[in-house]
Amino acid sequence: MVSQSAASTSTPSELSTPINKTAHEFDKPTLDALLARRFFFAPAFEIYGGVAGLYDYGPTGSALQANILDQWRKHYIIEEDMLELDTTIMTLSEVLKTSGHVDKFADWMVKDVQTGEIFRADHLVEAVIEARLKGDKEARGVKHEEPEKEEDEKKKKKKKNVKSVAIKLEDSVVEEYESLLAQIDNYTGPQLGELVRKHNIRNPTTGNELSEPVEFNLMFESNIGPTGQIKGYLRPETAQGHFVNFARLLEFNNGKVPFASAQIGRSFRNEIAPRQGLLRVREFTMAEIEHYVDPLDKRHARFNEVKDVQLTLLPKDVQTEGRTELTQMTVGDAVAKKIVDNETLGYFLGRTQLFLEKIGIDPKRLRCRQHMANEMAHYAADCWDFEIQSSYGWIECVGCADRSAYDLTVHSVRTKQPLRVQQKLDEPKKVEKLDVQFDAKKFGMTFKKDATLIKETLLGLEKDKLQCIKDELANGKSSVKCADGKSYEITPDLVKIDPITVTEHMREFTPNVIEPSFGIGRILYSLLEHSYWAREQDKARGVLSLPSIVAPMKCLIVTISQDPELRAKIHEISRKMRRIGIASRVDDSSASIGKKYARNDELGTPFGCTVDFASIKNDTMTLRERDSTNQLIGKIDDVIEVVDQLVKGTIDWSGASQRLEPYSGVQDVEE
């Protein structure tokens, strides 16, 4: 019977939902063995002993990554008419100095004062406190529930040195620890230092004391050219390559906003402690969008298309109260209730939810976590991370931030290039404004190298903010917060603000930037975990239920015998498939059909075609669906056409069953 299928509804993401999945515990060691054996990825320079945080992708991993990126390009760049870029990885140090990376792109590390062993401060505090809470549970005889079991396995892997000891804690301490963990991303370096002292956190292996946290810059430094005079860094994100090209992009877009630029490329971060396989590495592929928008109008023309998309939200208020419960809400409601700052940010949250579901991420293991105040860059208006749950816990895979006008402003101030939009007004307008006048000499002498930045900031302020400063100046002094994060005190002898009436023909402004930033390796690994399961009859060999749009190979072609005529036939079929763009693979080895199928289930190949002697006589072949193992039969050319449509997602398996006949003749999985 071919009445049931893995694809009984029409959305591509559901094509991946396996209906015959064996209910079994997630078996990470078996998945890891599969990924290594079938060369999805492996440690780089392995034969030399490897280097932490560097990985090579093999044929299957590369194809999977290429297909994810292809979907990303279609979903964003093509669908949204974005301007694609490919900018240099080696980046001039001045660019990264201006963006703030040279001074601030750092994590906090602590050192064992005796052995010199280094830890990332927030990760160590988290690991030790979690181990204490676990020990408390053991002492109280509390049995772990299922999700905690999964969390615990993650912790064992990532913090293997931190063992729990069954010691009962005071109730108030448990409460304090739980609240601390809910806000672990919100602590500054000095605050982490206080936590280390207050909670007597030490090196878990040696028991030695730890140093105060110090900052470690994550960028790889280099020199450009033989003299060593031009300093450079391997870029830690692709974003700056967009911003330095803004003027050209704006011109390309006929001087109008909104529009977006997009870039896929490698980034580098010298992580203090790379770990968790592909999740924290030192070189990785990013896909980033910079969407430029009028700061006074952050509506999005296509918002209606995503307003009903369901998100799972973890807002900042919930976290700062030390809680972690999730709220289901549509994008429309989240923006209407001001939980998400504006329509454009909401639009990208909705589109990203759809993208991740389309490529096969399980929506039940996907949430949007809002950044807390300390966690968010000082210039950002709002920021949400898409976190995906895997055996390593909830991991940020996509960051969606409203970066305000920060980047364009600082690059413009530094280079004196106007990275601004000029908009002709329909009619000249009489406008009541506040005119800012500077005592140039005194101002320059007071603020020296910071004078231009402060001046630009004051000139770029909206009227109500300027009015506040004017009122404060009337009382003797005021202050200006600039994009470098500092506040500068100003006095009436330096700055005068007076009301004036002007006739405006143009409006000029620095666009704000909404940035969705994707870490492709983290998404790829999470997808592998979400897709993995094993059949009851063959637990050692897994199945990867990857949606056909991203599966490395789309179709396996096999014969039931080594007969030369049959072998020639499968190569002919493969050629036909490849000609129309279906990535197919012939397996003409002498292994049994069941074994061949099992080998391809491990690679996530969604369809399999088998030819037998009837194929020669009747020009037919069978078609097998990976997850259900259901089979259909039809004329060879019809089957190829059906496979093409299945792979493109224009029909699902029930659509295929209407075009072909049910078949139940071939032994499927090897006994």
Q: Please, which residue, 32 or 435, has the CB nearer to ligand ATP?
A: 32
Q: Please, which residue, 123 or 420, has the CB nearer to ligand ATP?
A: 123
Helix (H) or strand (E) holding 423: strand 421-438
CB of 524 to ligand ATP, least distance (A): 10
**669 contacts: CB under 8 Å, gap ≥ 6:** 535, 537, 538, 594, 597, 598, 629
Query: Is 204 an interacting residue with respect to ligand ATP (CB under 6 A)?
Result: no
Among residues 204, 265, 322, 399, the one that binds ligand ATP under rule CB under 6 A: 399
Helix (H) or strand (E) holding 255: none
Give the C-alpha separation, 641 to 352, whole Å.
Answer: 31
Contact (Cβ atoms closer than 8 angstroms) between residue 122 and residue 185: yes
CA distances from 292 to 164, 257, 515, 518 (A): 49, 6, 9, 18
Give the C-alpha separation, 170 to 176, whole Å.
Answer: 10
CB of 662 to ligand ATP, least distance (A): 44
CB of 373 to ligand ATP, least distance (A): 15
> What residues numbered 220-239 form the site for ligand ATP, per CB under 6 A?
237
Among residues 120, 280, 291, 351, the one that binds ligand ATP under rule CB under 6 A: 280
CB of 365 to ligand ATP, least distance (A): 15
Query: Is 286 an interacting residue with respect to ligand ATP (CB under 6 A)?
Result: yes
Give the C-alpha separation, 387 to 13, whole Å.
Answer: 18
The count of residues in the chain is: 671
Q: Which residues pair with 230 in a beta bridge?
A: 224
- Rounded to the nearest 10°, the torsion over CA 375, 377, 378, 384 is -70
Neighbour tally for 580: CB within 10 Å: 11
CB of 196 to ligand ATP, least distance (A): 20
Q: Please, which residue, 102 or 586, has the CB nearer to ligand ATP?
A: 102
Give the C-alpha separation, 466 to 464, whole Å.
Answer: 5
Q: Please, which residue, 271 or 472, has the CB nearer to ligand ATP?
A: 271
Among residues 244, 260, 313, 398, the one that binds ligand ATP under rule CB under 6 A: 398
The full 3-state SS of 435-499, as one line of letters, equals: EEEECHHHHHHHHHHHHHHHHHHHHCCCHHHHHHHHHHHHCCCEEEECCCCCEEEECCCCEEEEE
Q: Cis (ω within 30 of 0) for the bond into 258?
A: yes
Angle between helices 440-447 and 451-459 (to 10 degrees): 120
Judged by CB under 6 A, the stretch of 397-405, 406-414, 581-589, 636-644 that binds ligand ATP is 397-405
Binding mask 420-459 for ligand ATP (x = CB under 6 A): ----------------------------------------
Report residue 363 as tokens.
């929506």
**650 contacts: CB under 8 Å, gap ≥ 6:** none
CB of 408 to ligand ATP, least distance (A): 19
> CA angle at residue 262 from 266 to 339, to 5 degrees?
105
Among residues 271, 619, 644, 670, the one that binds ligand ATP under rule CB under 6 A: 271
Among residues 350, 519, 606, 634, the one that binds ligand ATP under rule CB under 6 A: 519
Give the C-alpha separation, 3 to 19, whole Å.
Answer: 12
Judged by CB under 6 A, the stretch of 124-132, 202-210, 463-471, 515-523 that binds ligand ATP is 515-523
Q: Please, which residue, 523 or 586, has the CB nearer to ligand ATP?
A: 523
Burial of 651 (0-12, 13-18, 19+ CB in 10 A): buried
User: From start to end of 306-392, where are the E strands?
Assistant: 310-314, 327-330, 366-370, 382-390
Judged by CB under 6 A, the stretch of 66-74, 221-229, 392-400, 460-468 that binds ligand ATP is 392-400
CB of 272 to ligand ATP, least distance (A): 10
Q: Please, which residue, 312 or 517, has the CB nearer to ligand ATP?
A: 517
Long-range contacts of 219-228 (CB under 8 A, 24+ apart): 219/96, 219/101, 219/102, 219/105, 219/268, 219/269, 219/270, 220/268, 220/270, 221/93, 222/90, 224/90, 224/92
Burial of 191 (0-12, 13-18, 19+ CB in 10 A): middle
Among residues 27, 94, 178, 396, the one that binds ligand ATP under rule CB under 6 A: 396
C-beta nearest to ligand ATP: residue: 519
> What residues numbered 37-76 form the site for ligand ATP, per CB under 6 A?
none
Binding mask 236-255 for ligand ATP (x = CB under 6 A): -x------------------
Query: Is 524 an interacting residue with respect to ligand ATP (CB under 6 A)?
Result: no
Among residues 72, 108, 243, 284, the one that binds ligand ATP under rule CB under 6 A: 284
Q: What is the DSSP letter of 279?
A: G
CB of 644 to ligand ATP, least distance (A): 33
Which amino acid, 61?
A: G
- Residue 614, phi then psi, degrees to nearest 5: -65, -25
Q: Which of 592, 582, 603 has the alpha carbon at shortest distance from 558?
A: 592
CB of 399 to ligand ATP, least distance (A): 3
Judged by CB under 6 A, the stretch of 54-62, 227-235, 394-402, 577-585 that binds ligand ATP is 394-402
CB of 397 to ligand ATP, least distance (A): 5
CB of 224 to ligand ATP, least distance (A): 24
Q: Which of 79, 462, 583, 49 has the alpha carbon at shortest distance from 305?
A: 79
CB of 518 to ligand ATP, least distance (A): 6
Among residues 522, 535, 596, 624, the one that binds ligand ATP under rule CB under 6 A: 522
CB of 106 to ligand ATP, least distance (A): 11
Query: Is 281 an interacting residue with respect to ligand ATP (CB under 6 A)?
Result: yes
CB of 281 to ligand ATP, least distance (A): 4
CB of 535 to ligand ATP, least distance (A): 32
Among residues 397, 453, 544, 656, the one that binds ligand ATP under rule CB under 6 A: 397
Among residues 189, 521, 552, 606, the one that binds ligand ATP under rule CB under 6 A: 521
Query: Is 269 an interacting residue with respect to ligand ATP (CB under 6 A)?
Result: yes
Interface positions with ligand ATP (CB under 6 A): 237, 269, 271, 280-281, 284, 286, 396-399, 517, 519, 521-522
